[in-house]
Amino acid sequence: MLNAFREGLRSSWTAKLILSLLLVMAVGGLVLMDTADFWRGGVSRGAVARVAGHDIGFVEFDRFYRSSLRQQSPDRMASPEFREGLAREVLRELIRTRLLAAAARDSGLVITDGLAAQRVREYLQPWVDAGLHEHMALEYALQQLGVSEDMLVHTIKEELATDMMTSALLSVISVPEPLVRDLLQYENETRKGAYLRIARESFRVEEAGEEELRRFHKEARGKWMTPEYRGFSVLVLTPEDIIADIPDLEMIDEDGLREIYETYKDHYTTPETRTVAQAVLETEEAAKAVAAHLKSGRETSLAAAVAREGLENIEILEAEEFTAQTIYPVEITDAVFGMTAKTGIADPVKTPFGWHLAQVLETVPAQVTPFADLRDELRSQWLLEHAAEPMYRRLGELEEMFAGGATVAEAAEFLDMELMRFESVGRDGKNAEGRSVAIKPEKHAARILREVFALQQDEIIRGDLFEMEDGSYVAITIDETVPPVKIDFETVAEDVRKTWVFEEQGRLMRERAAEIEKAVREDGLSFAEAAEKFGLAVKEITPRPRRNQYTPADEKSGLSPEAMTLLFGLEKPGDVAALSAGDDMVVTILTERVLPDMASESGAGLLEDSQITGALLRYMMREDYMQQFILGLEQKYGVRINEYSFERLYGAKALREAET
């Protein structure tokens, strides 16, 4: 029964309810991570994202992430890239849910108390089925979720409004029967053909004279050019600059950082986790008997101990990793986490579902991140906290000046800010002499260079300051541009010669491909005859369906994937086309195209899958429609993601570093 209830939570609307509940908790300020209000581009430092004016806290997000992680196989969880991808998918779903809730609220959808009450009863039904009175079931649910009755009702109303709006949006989407039949035919179409390969190395090109090479060198656009160099000015606004201008405020020292660390040490502590298997028995006596088998060592698993006792139809829950805050049901918290041993059997506990017997299989102690690892982050947090208000005032002053036509240099002079000038720097950060230019701030040098070469010569940033990863802001203006110039022929003569030969071979290959196509289309030669005319070998492409064009066997046999791409791009039998294939070219002919006859026996077999295909099409169309709708909601309500903090906590690189 308990397993069924838990699976129901994962697969039914009740799972969405829990998601909505946690969202409301976040909006109401019940889910917090940091005590200070740190900001990253409009997102609180304690939040992973900001949607429709409300934060999605890291603690809230992490609950859903950990829940999703527990449902994955161990081999998948071993990959940092997979875990990062899963984290991003969970974040996308949270953002989507929050946007839909805002849209439903603003659309004016009203959910009556009667409809909400009906949904509450549906939500409580698993507990009622377990034997609890409806009132007790409600109290138990509120305890499990950690919310008030009013919040539960509010969340259910919001979820109902969201579902109604989504259903109304998607109800108009249908898939016509002819479209389903056409898709079935298209996916099950079979084609066969042939192709030949024109090898570049088969063309012997006579060396060009110097005059020809010089003309080729001169006319080649974008080749053999010196780098473009740019001179630019940079204005940097950092939290440190702001702090320095605040009267009577001293920069925090090492002792101050340590004090913050000790005060909020809990925030930098990963709680103890215990891997727990559970059995739910009908009586206390049965639970104690099973526990005795395990404690005595006669059996090592709950399932074996239950079997030894001769008990049947006993619910055994698979082992899961829990913290004291996430263990389920909550009644067994003290029994499991009150054990001094790292493994063993907890005392039986009475819950609304029966007598729970918990077996602790593994304990991972709480871990505290060392102060040395957090020093820079703590200092950054302190700076951002104390600099936030004056920082935004100064940014407002800069934006007003830029909007009024001031240059970056004029704004720096008026506001008494340092302006850094850099002369003749290439994209690689080096000057014309090949020496590296020390662009400051050094940690932002790569980003500044990217922005410099993304700007036009006369472009000045007005009211669009670049935000850096550490909360600093940078404005850039281009002072001068030294355009690329052609490198002297004598300096690059050998490379010019090789390039000329390569391109001449390419021209001859294209001409040969055009001659083959003409021989087949206009001269009446077969594909084999045209190949023989030019001394080339034909390779057959055996019949194959569109849905399985290129197989591992094809790769082993050396079949050209480019030829296969051409085969399924041609329109009718007899059509010929050519395509580059690495350094060579392939020419492909379509010789047979077979669409399944939907009136035949095989076609009838395909039509048996029409419902599946129709459902798939409908799903794809609805997903596309919802994606466009969500994009519109993002524009309307605004979505900001704390990418910097997300990468530090859930990025594959950070996860790999944490493992080592």
Mean predicted confidence (pLDDT) in 486-495: 95
Please say if the pLDDT value at position 28 is more than 50.
no
Q: Which has the closest alpha carbon to 381: 509, 239, 258, 511?
A: 239
Measuring CA to CA, how many Å separate 13 from each of 69, 80, 89, 151? 20, 30, 19, 17
Question: Identical fold at 2-172+621-659 and 272-365?
Answer: no
| Alpha helices per DSSP H over 406-444 | 408-414
Q: What percent of the chain has pLDDT over 70?
A: 85
Specify the pLDDT at position 2: 34
- Chain-centre distance of CA 559, in angstroms? 35
- Comparison of pLDDT for 1 and 426, the residue scoring more: 426
Please say if the pLDDT value at position 384 is more than 90.
no
Mean predicted confidence (pLDDT) in 246-275: 84
Tens-digit pLDDT profile for residues 525-544: 999 999 999 999 999 999 98
272-365 CATH choice from 1.10.274.10, 3.10.50.40, 3.30.1330.30, 3.30.70.920: 3.10.50.40
Please say if the pLDDT value at position 650 is more than 90.
no
Please say if the pLDDT value at position 363 is more than 90.
yes
- Sorting pLDDT into bands at 50, 70 and 90, what band is 217? very high
Q: In what order do the strands lie in the sheet with 538-545?
A: 538-545, 190-198, 584-594, 576-581
Most confident of 129-133, 162-166, 270-274, 603-607: 270-274
Query: What does the buried/exposed string (b/e) look like for 291-314 if buried means 16 or more CB atoms within 10 Å of the residue's CB?
Result: bebbeeeebebbeebbeebeeeeb
| pTM of the predicted model as reported, rounded to 2 decimal places | 0.48
For residues 480 and 418, what is the distance between their CA atoms, to the nearest angstrom? 20
Most confident of 302-306, 442-446, 614-618: 302-306
Instruction: Say if residues 273 and 364 touch (Cβ distance below 8 Å).
Output: yes
Please say if the pLDDT value at position 466 is more than 80.
no
Q: Hunting for tokens 């559970």 — which residue is that?
A: 278
For residues 417 and 236, what is the distance between their CA atoms, to the nearest angstrom? 8
Please say if the pLDDT value at position 603 is more than 90.
no
- Would you kindly state where each structural domain of the chain is located, as residue ranges? 2-172+621-659, 190-206+490-594, 229-252+373-482, 272-365
2-172+621-659 CATH choice from 3.30.10, 1.10.4030, 2.60.120, 1.20.950: 1.10.4030
- Chain-centre distance of CA 81, in angstroms? 10
- Sorting pLDDT into bands at 50, 70 and 90, what band is 317? confident
Q: Is 467 helix (H, G, I), strand (E, B) or coil?
A: strand
